[in-house]
Amino acid sequence: MQQPAMDSPPIGAAPAHHSKRRQYAAGQTQAYYGSAEEPSMLQPMSQPPQQAGMEPQLFTPGLAAPSFAMQQQGQTQPPYYDPNQAQQQPDYINSQQQQPAYGQPNPNALADQFSQMGLGGQRSFSLQTANLLTSPPDPRELSLPPPEIRLPPNATVTPSQFANADPSYQRSTLNAFPNTSSLLSKSKLPLALVISPYRTVSENEPQVPLVTDTVIARCRRCRTYINPFVQFIDGGNRWRCYPHGTVEYVAPTEYMVRPPQPAVYVFLIDVSHTAVQSGMVATATRTILENLDRIPDEDDRTKIAIVCFDVSLYFFSLPPGQSEPTMLVVSDVDDVFLPKPTDLLLNLAEARSGGGLESLLTRINDMFKENSIIGSALGPALQAGFKLMVPIGGKIIALSSSLPSIGVGALKNREDPKILGTSKESGLLQAASPFYKTFAIECSRAQVSVDMFLFSSAYQDVASLSCLPHYTSGQTYYYPAFNAARNEDALKFAHEFGEVLAMPIMLEVIMRVRASRGLRMSSFHGNFFVRSTDLLAMPTVATNQGYAIEIQIEETINTPFVVLQTAVLHTTCYGERRIRVVTSAYPVTSNLSEVFASVDQIALAVLLANKAVERTLSHKLEDARDAVFNKLVEILQTYKSSMTAAGAGASAQLAIGENMKMLPVLILGLLKNVGIRQSAQIPPDIRAYSQALLTSLPAQLLIPYIYPSFYSLHNMPPEAGTVGPDGVIMPPPLPLTSERLERHGLFLIEDGQTIFLWVGRDAVPQLIMDVFNLPSYDVLRGGKTTLPVLENSFSQRVNAIVQKTREMRRGVYYPHLYIVKEDGEPPLRLWALSALVQDRADVLPSYQQFISSLKEKVNGNGGY
């Protein structure tokens, strides 16, 4: 690799953004062009705004994965424990560690790795085989780090525990890469990266280092950014060591085609009769009002506009210095136009200075409270929002309470119970109108992204509407049957909407993954638009979105390790052009057992979830389920034939590597997820929204969504629910089977989107009183609720666990809490039980049945 001769600056931790915007001289902005095939050159600005920051192609080569020790906790006999009925629980780990990250860095991991490496090369992987027939799923294993990345000695410039990116930013399905495509094909294992480059960073985590001198060091040939795995030639010149796998650079002017643009937010608010009566309008406007101080605007450049709509469009003009807004109505939605050229898109600080914006937000609900119009011109409203911001770009946030019925993008109710569960059902999961795809592409070109907040109590065609966020790097949020009169509904929406408003967003984003020679990025999954072969365009990027990128091996790899580098060029919402670089290195092997020993089952499950949803868009739902199941069978067959004594013959066992023991139950959870589950009862909107989550959630949120968490509260250890060094201590997780439910017990089941509090029918009155402040089980009502905080320690511990459940993972989601009585309403009871994915439900197998069918299939005797 050829390196520029220069000094590298010292690296230090820095805040996520600067308080002052970097000033760029006028006329200096230039675009960076080039590819792996030809040298890059600086050229003057010559592209339209949508090409902002067109960034050249990339590459690099590897290091250690994080590790942490499992902690064991003893089991004592806590309150409400009935020795005659309750089962003795095993010792499980204390799940209070940063469980959601599925692996945290251990400062000693790298030092340990280097101390154990011999001069002959990296330590080999040791493959341990487990028998799935006798090894039931242990949910604690999902909190373990991925298999260690074992690189050869001196792979890095300096031995640093931060040299490889933390897996919460970037992880691979394989932590040892096969050296040939034939070896990869033989393993039947998919090779892919799972990426979440902009995850939120808590106060007690290391911040991403920021290099501020605008000197960007890259390989002239492959365009890779300097990283811990570079090699020096010709004596190396002078270069201070760079130890971080994840880093952010302030970019010079060569990385822009125009100066950094301000953040722009255009709110499209449905004010039809349905929207007003549900309380959505009042809740939305109040939430915007209460969060004006949280919208990113440190340099007073942020712009905002509000457009209301029913079957007409309502614009609001607020000239500078004016305290009262003027409403302008556009009734012609067939040819959308802006009613005036200025004062519709407002500078946030100026609009607030005279009180005009606050006045508007306070009055919108009253303006339309008597509105009897039923109908939605959502498509024209989207066009209007686009026209307001097209010169700049930014984020459209659309809030809609009914099916679009007027103008472009109008949709019809195509929900048909007769085709649910049939081969035609997948048609309901595809966009019904080409407008939402074509308009999304138009938005992407103009650096406009769309977030959809959907509230309808009837069919709303989430499948069509979610196209916009999917192709513009936005997100879909769905609140079926929203009613703000229920405090829980208002609280959930206000919390999530407020967090979206406060979130620092990245603007004019392009992302590319470069890799060592012989590797090529082949398929891409997530919310973005693929602008060229491997360039992902994202007008704005919110934090905590996940992406999966499949990798092909195109030629034999002759190096001891390879490097993959994700580069994300973006403008911060504070007006600074930056490049986030995430680098991971992996050893190369010609040994199939090492490939199997290196499988990251979390990353593999995330990839398969994305591929399953993608398949439903071009095939039947059944085909998507079969493809996932057959991939698991292929992996198990290859493992049996290559790694066990049974070879190609029949086996009484079902063998798999210890590091993949949870893969079958994760696949079972995916097959039972409402996004692809076999059922004739799932409404299309619910299924489409689930699919939107499956293709956008990062691993930390996706894994519990397919394999929920399950806790016993009535007999939890005494420290559970109290505050430890890392916050509230969670109870030990249980396997997802109703065999663990007890008639006198209190249990919590959650998947990151919904929390169920299961109450056994024989729960003692004291437990009911301590948790719900009610005299007995008989008077307890099931359903959506808010737990009271009572003056007893058990109530406070249960509330602390519920609160920790809502806060322990990254993202904006605020799960509803449902009380589920063991003998309560059947629909609610069945919904909660469906989260126990190891049980049989309708036509869906139990875990034991699933494993048995896998064994039959692996042995060539049919199956699932």
Q: What percent of the chain has pLDDT over 70?
A: 82
Write down the pLDDT at residue 255: 85
CATH number, domain 599-707+841-863: 1.20.120.730
Of 674, 295, 275, 673, the residue nearest 454 (C-alpha): 275
CA distance 763 to 743: 7
Of 607, 663, 732, the residue nearest 135 (C-alpha): 663
What are the tens digits of pLDDT across the range 717-776? 999 999 999 899 999 999 999 999 999 999 999 999 999 999 999 999 999 999 999 999
What are the tens digits of pLDDT across the range 797-813? 999 999 999 999 999 99
Q: Is the pLDDT of residue 88 over 50?
A: no
Residues of the chain by 3-state class (helix, strand, coil), percent to 5: 30, 20, 50
Q: Is the pLDDT of residue 253 over 90?
A: no
For 542-557, the DSSP string reads -TT--EEEEEEE-S--
* CATH 3.40.50.410 is held by the domain 264-503: yes
pLDDT band, residue 863 (cuts 50/70/90): low
Same fold, 132-255+505-586 and 264-503: no
Residue 498, class by beta-carbon neighbours within 10 Å (0-12 exposed, 13-18 middle, 19+ buried)?
middle
Write down the pLDDT at residue 218: 67
Please give the single-letter amino acid code of residue 44.
P
**Rounded mean pLDDT, 615-627:** 93
**Rounded mean pLDDT, 365-376:** 96
Write down the pLDDT at residue 23: 41
CATH of 708-836, picked from 3.40.50.620, 3.40.20.10, 3.40.50.2000, 3.40.640.10, is 3.40.20.10
Of 701, 398, 306, 707, the residue nearest 543 (C-alpha): 701
The b/e string for 233-272 (b: 16+ C-beta within 10 A; e otherwise) is: eeeeeebeebbbbbbbbbbbbbbbbbbbbbbbbbbbbbbb
pLDDT band, residue 52 (cuts 50/70/90): very low
User: Which is it for strands 547-553 and 519-525: parallel, antiparallel or unpaired?
Assistant: antiparallel
What are the tens digits of pLDDT across the range 478-508? 999 999 999 999 999 999 999 999 999 999 9
Please give the single-letter amino acid code of residue 158.
T
Length of the chain: 864
What are the tens digits of pLDDT across the range 387-432? 999 999 999 999 999 999 999 999 999 999 999 989 899 999 999 9
User: Residue 657 CB: number of other CB atoms within 10 A?
Assistant: 23
Contact 218, 249 (CB under 8 A): no
Query: According to DSSP H, which parts of 66-180 are helical?
Result: 109-116
Write down the pLDDT at residue 392: 95
Judged by DSSP in three states, 262 sits in coil
Q: Between these two residues, 48 and 352, which has the higher pLDDT value?
A: 352
What are the tens digits of pLDDT across the range 270-306? 999 999 999 999 999 999 999 999 999 988 999 999 9
Instruction: List the single range of 241-250, 320-329, 600-609, 837-846 with lowest mean pLDDT.
Output: 241-250
What are the tens digits of pLDDT across the range 668-698? 999 999 999 999 999 999 999 999 999 999 9
Q: How far apart are the first and last CA of the chain?
A: 50
Write down the pLDDT at residue 204: 80
| Helix or strand (DSSP H, E) at 671 | helix 663-672
**Rounded mean pLDDT, 129-143:** 95
CATH number, domain 132-255+505-586: 2.60.40.1670
Please give the single-letter amino acid code of residue 394.
G
Q: Is the pLDDT of residue 179 over 50?
A: yes
What are the tens digits of pLDDT across the range 806-845? 999 999 999 999 999 999 999 999 999 999 999 998 889 9
What are the tens digits of pLDDT across the range 516-551? 999 999 999 999 999 888 899 999 998 999 999 999
Contact 566, 513 (CB under 8 A): yes
User: Which is it for strands 30-33 and 41-44: parallel, antiparallel or unpaired?
Assistant: antiparallel
Write down the pLDDT at residue 231: 61
Tell me which range, 160-164, 168-172, 236-240, is most confidently predicted by mean pLDDT: 168-172
- Number of alpha carbons in the 13 Å side-chain half-sphere of residue 297: 21
Tokens standing for residue 787: 């737990």
What are the residue ranges spanned by the domains of the chain? 132-255+505-586, 264-503, 599-707+841-863, 708-836
Query: According to DSSP H, which parts of 86-245 are helical?
Result: 109-116, 181-187
CA distance 770 to 711: 18
Write down the pLDDT at residue 580: 92
Strand partners, 727: 724
Rg of the chain (C-alpha set): 27
**Rounded mean pLDDT, 321-347:** 92
Judged by DSSP in three states, 774 sits in coil
Question: Angle at which helices 356-368 and 280-290 pack, to 10 degrees?
Answer: 170
Write down the pLDDT at residue 137: 96
Write down the pLDDT at residue 354: 82
Beta strands, E only, 271-338: 303-309, 313-317, 326-330
Of 498, 505, 451, 481, the residue nearest 692 (C-alpha): 451
Q: What percent of the chain has pLDDT over 90?
A: 70
Tell me which range, 32-41, 77-86, 179-188, is most confidently predicted by mean pLDDT: 179-188
Q: Between these two residues, 98 and 233, which has the higher pLDDT value?
A: 233
Residue partners of 848: CB distance under 8 A and separation at least 6: none
Instruction: List the single range of 206-220, 413-427, 591-605, 614-628 with lowest mean pLDDT.
Output: 206-220
CB pairs under 8 A, 24+ apart, for 129-132? 129/643, 129/644, 129/655, 129/656, 129/657, 129/658, 130/655, 130/656, 130/657, 130/658, 130/661, 131/653, 131/654, 131/655, 132/653, 132/654, 132/655, 132/656, 132/661, 132/664, 132/851, 132/854, 132/855
pLDDT band, residue 219 (cuts 50/70/90): low
φ/ψ region of 683 (left if φ > 0, alpha if ψ in -120 to 50, else beta) reads beta
Instruction: List the single range of 246-255, 602-611, 693-702 with lowest mean pLDDT.
Output: 246-255
Residue partners of 453: CB distance under 8 A and separation at least 6: 284, 397, 398, 399, 400, 477, 479, 493, 497
